[in-house]
Amino acid sequence: MNHVETVQQMYEAFGKGDVPAILAHMASDVEWEYGVNSTDVPWLQPRRGRDQGVGFFQSLAAISATVRAIGKRVEEVDEVHIWHFSPQGQVR
């Protein structure tokens, strides 16, 4: 599996709420960095390792929002996801 396929599988698992499948693609020492120095926003906390990664998904699950399908693609230009991979193909 190439890196693009790995990321696609991770986003697919995210859409299903399958956190174990997401974490299975990550190295044991994965680093979660958001480039934001905020201690007030739970999902923006820096984390290290799969166990702390679970905390990221738990903080997202605590968000209450209404989402509606609008039938249009929505593009945001103020955020970029950068993925680093280990030689074994795991997200670092």
Q: Which of 28, 30, 49, 43 has its CA nearest to residue 79? A: 43
pLDDT for position 46: 83
pLDDT confidence band for 59 (50 / 70 / 90): confident
7-56 confidence digits (pLDDT tens): 999 999 999 999 999 999 999 999 887 776 666 777 778 889 999 889 88
64-78 confidence digits (pLDDT tens): 777 677 777 767 767
Q: Where are the beta strands (DSSP E) in the chain?
A: 31-32, 47-48
Domain ranges of the chain: 1-92
Q: Which helix (H) or strand (E) is 20 found in, with range?
A: helix 19-24
CATH topology of domain 1-92: Nuclear Transport Factor 2; Chain: A, (3.10.450)
Q: How far is it, in rounded angstroms, from Cα 80 to Cα 89?
A: 20
Overall residue count recorded for the chain in this entry: 92
